[in-house]
A and B are shown apart, each in its own frame.
Chain A
Amino acid sequence: MNRIGILSIWMLTAVVQAQPSAEDILRRVDAVMTSDTKIVVSKMIIHGRRSMRIIEAKSYIDGTRRAFTEYLAPPREAGTKMLKLEDQLWTFSPQTDRIIKISGHMLRQSVMGSDLSYEDMMEDPRLANLYHAVLLGEENIGDRSCWILQLEAKTVDIAYPSRKIWVDKERYLVLKEQRFAKGGRLLKSAIVEEVKLLDGRWSPVKARFKDELQTGEGTEFVIESIQYNAAIPEHLFTKAALRR
C-alpha cells in the first residue's frame, strides 16, 4: 500500500473516531438541555380552530424531578399553579380553592389547550434514561448541520415508544423532533424556530409543537427569559405553595 493509501485510511479512521456515537450524542444533548435549576418565563401561543390564545407562565425547575409553574395570563388562567414532584402532578385552581392530583387518563389531556399534554410535562427530560439511540444520518435544519438519531424506548410503559431527533452537531441542541406511537404513527412533532445564547448557554427560545392527531396550526412555545442554576426557595416544591 502506498503512502497516499495509508494516509487516506488514517484520515478516515480519525474522522470515524472524531464522530461520537449515537449514545454519546444523546448524553451530550441531555447535558445541554438540562441544568441543576432554572427559572423560565415563557408564553404559549395556541392556535385553535376558531381563535388564538396566549398563555403566560413562570416555571421554577429543579433538575428533572421537581417543577413549579404559575400561570400569569390571561386573567382566566392567572393564579392557576402546577406542581410536579417526582412522578406526581398537582394543580391548584384559585376559583375552587382545590388542589387536584392529575393522574390516569387526565395526564393525556392537553395543557391549557396547547398541543402538549401533561404526560409530556411529566416525562424525564433526560432522553438517555429512556431511549437507545441509533445514528441514521445527517441533514441540515436551516443552516445548521444536524445528526439524525432514531430513539427506541428502553421500557414499554412510555408515552412515545420511538422518536426521531435532529441534533445540532455543534451545539448539541435538538432542533427538530418527531414522536411516534408503537405502530409507527406520528403523534407529535416539534421544530425549533429560534436559538439564542442565554446566560452563557445556547437555548432554544422559540419552538412550534404540533399534535399530529389534531387539526390546527400547533402551539408556539416562546421563552421570554431563562435563568440557569438560579436559587429557588425549597418551600416552592411543596403542596402548601400551591395555595400561597
Chain B
Amino acid sequence: MIRFLIKGLLRDRSRSLFPVLVVAAGAFLAVFGFCWIKGTLNDILWANAAFDTGHVKIMTNGFAAEADLLPNDLALIEVDSLLEYLRTRYPSMIWTSRTRFGSMLDIPDSLGETRAQAPVMGLAIDLSETSPERRILHLENALVRGRLPQQNNEMLISELLAEQLGVSPGEVATLIGSTAYGSLTLHNFTIAGTIRFGVTAMDRSVILVDEHEARLMLDMENASSEIVGYFPDLLYKQAAASSIVADFNSMQTNAEDSPHMFALHEQNELESMLIWINYFSAIVIGVFIVAMSIVLWNAGLMGSLRRYGEFGLRLAIGESKLHVYQSLLAESLIIGFIGGVIGTALGLAAAYYLQVKGLDISGAVKGSNMLLTNVIRAQITPAALYVGLIPGLIAPPLGTAVAGIGIFKRQTAQLFKELEV
C-alpha cells in the first residue's frame, strides 16, 4: 500500500512537489531558527556566567543591594573559610573568589610622568596555573599578545585598551583606585599580555589581576567582592542551581554582612530573558506548524478539486470513503516525512555553517553594556534533529485532514452523474 502511494506521488509531481517544498522550507526555517536561538542563548549564558553571575554567586546582602557601585567596604570577609565550607558542602561545584573594582590605569613616560590614562574595570581572580578561572574564562584562547601572568604583580589588559593607551606587554602601568575603606591607592603592575574575550562590554576596558595582589592594593585581607560557583562541565543546570541556592540561603540571615547566594537566572534579568527565548522558540515552531497547515490545507483543497474525478472513480469502484481518506492521510505523512528530512538536512547544514563561522555583530553591540558576545553562533543540539521533522510530519496530515473532509460529503449518485457513467 505504502509503495503504491509512493509510486503515485513520484509519478504525479503535481501531488508531491509543492507540498514537499513547503514542508522542506518550513522545516528548514524551524531547524535553523531553533539552532540560532539556542546558540545565541548559549552565548548569552556563557558570557554572563563566565564574567559576572557564575552559575551561582555569593555576595553579602549589603554588597548585592549596591552591586553596581562595587561597594567593597561591604565585601565578603573570612573568604578562605567560606570557600572551604562551600567546597565541603557542595563538592560537585567549582568555587572561586573574585573581586571587582573600578580604577584608573596610568601609563608613565620615561620620567615617571603620566603619558596616558584611562578608566578601567578591574577583575581580580585566581590567575595561578592550576586555577579553574583559566578554563572558565577561556584565558588561553583570549590571549592576543604576550603571555598569561606567571609572576607577582603582573596583569592582563584588554587589547582594545592597550591599543588606545599605546602600551605593549612588558611595560609597567600604575593602577589608581580606592581601597575598601575609600583611601586612594596606587599599585604598579607589569603588563604580561593583552586579551580579547569577544564580549564588547568586557573588551572595552577590562584588566585582569591576581586576587592576591588586588587584596593588597585594595586593603581587603581575606575579603572578596564575591564567590562564584560553576558546574564542572560549565553547563548551567537551573534546577540544581536553585536547589543549592535554597539550601545555602536557608542557613543565612538578612543582616547586611550576611552572605547570600544567587542563581544565574536570578541575576541580570536573565530569568525573564530565558522565559522570553523559550516562548519565542515555541512561537517560531507553532507559527511554522500553523502556517504550513494552512498552506497544505489549501494545497490539499486544490489537489482534491483536481483529483475529483479520481476520488469519484475510486468510490464508484467500491472503495470506501474512509479508505480514500486514509490513503490521502498516508500520502501526506509520506510528503511530510520527505519534506521534513530535506528541510532538516538543509537547516542543519546552514546552522553548522553559522556555528563554525558565526555572524559578527560587534558593530551593533559597540556601545552596549550587556554581556553579549560580538559573534553570535548557532548551536546544533540533538533537539535540532526532530524540531523540524515533527512539525513536518504533523502539518501535512493536518492540512489534508481538513481538506479531505469533503470526501465524506460526496454523494454517490452525484458521482455517477459527474463521471457520466
Chain A residues with a Cβ under 8 A of chain B: 46, 48-51, 53, 55, 76-77, 80, 91, 93, 95-102, 106, 109-114
Contacts and interface: CB of A to CB of B under 8 A. Distances in A.
Contacts of A95: 186-188
Interface stretch (B23-31, B171-179, B305-313, B357-365): B171-179
Given A98-B106, A106-B104, A48 B182 contact: yes
B187 A50 contact: no
Nearest to A101: B114
B74 A109 contact: no
B184 interface: yes
B186 A110 contact: no
A39 to B, nearest CB: 23
Most buried by B among A55, A96, A101, A109: A96
16 contacts: A51-B181, A80-B184, A91-B186, A96-B174, A96-B187, A98-B106, A98-B108, A98-B188, A100-B174, A101-B114, A106-B104, A109-B178, A109-B184, A110-B178, A112-B182, A113-B179
A50 B73 contact: yes
A210 B108 CA distance: 35
B203 interface: no
Nearest to B111: A99
A87 to B, nearest CB: 17
B112 interface: yes
B113 interface: yes
A76 B73 CA distance: 17
Nearest to B179: A113
Nearest to A216: B73
Contacts of A101: 114
Nearest to A110: B182
A48 B176 contact: no
Closest 8 CB pairs of A and B: A113-B182, A93-B186, A113-B181, A96-B186, A112-B183, A110-B182, A96-B188, A113-B183
Given A77-B183, A97-B112, A110-B182, 19 more contacts: A48-B182, A50-B73, A51-B181, A76-B183, A91-B186, A95-B186, A95-B187, A95-B188, A98-B174, A100-B174, A100-B176, A102-B184, A106-B176, A110-B178, A111-B184, A112-B183, A112-B184, A113-B178, A113-B182
B117 to A, nearest CB: 9
A100 B182 contact: no
Nearest to A243: B112
B126 interface: no
Contacts of A99: 112-113
Contacts of A100: 106, 114, 174, 176, 186
A51 B72 CA distance: 13
A76 B219 contact: yes
Of B179, B182, B184, which is in contact with the most chain A CB atoms at under 10 Å from its CB?
A: B184
Nearest to A102: B184
A98 B181 contact: no
Contact of A98 (B182, B186, B256): B186
A76 B179 CA distance: 11
A157 to B, nearest CB: 22
A114 B182 contact: yes
Contacts of A46: 181-182
A106 B62 CA distance: 25
Contacts of B182: 46, 48, 110, 112-114
A77 B179 CA distance: 11
Contacts of B74: 49-50
Contacts of A53: 181
Contacts of B178: 109-110, 113
Interface string B389-418: 000000000000000000000000000000
A218 to B, nearest CB: 13
B355 to A, nearest CB: 43
A102 B74 CA distance: 26
Interface string B158-192: 00000000000000001010110111111110000
A101 B184 CA distance: 12
Contacts of A112: 182-184
Nearest to A49: B73
Interface in B318-370: none
Given A106-B104, A113-B178, A98 B112 contact: yes
A220 B34 CA distance: 62
A80 B185 CA distance: 10
B62 to A, nearest CB: 8
Nearest to B185: A93
A91 B112 contact: no
A99 B182 CA distance: 19
Nearest to A71: B183
A3 to B, nearest CB: 67
Nearest to A55: B183
Contacts of B62: 49
A106 B178 CA distance: 10
A48 B73 contact: yes
Contacts of A102: 184
Interface in B60-86: 62, 73-74
Nearest to A115: B182
A109 B181 CA distance: 12
A127 B184 CA distance: 28
A111 B187 CA distance: 17
A91 B184 CA distance: 9
A96 B108 CA distance: 11
Contacts of B181: 46, 48, 51, 53, 113
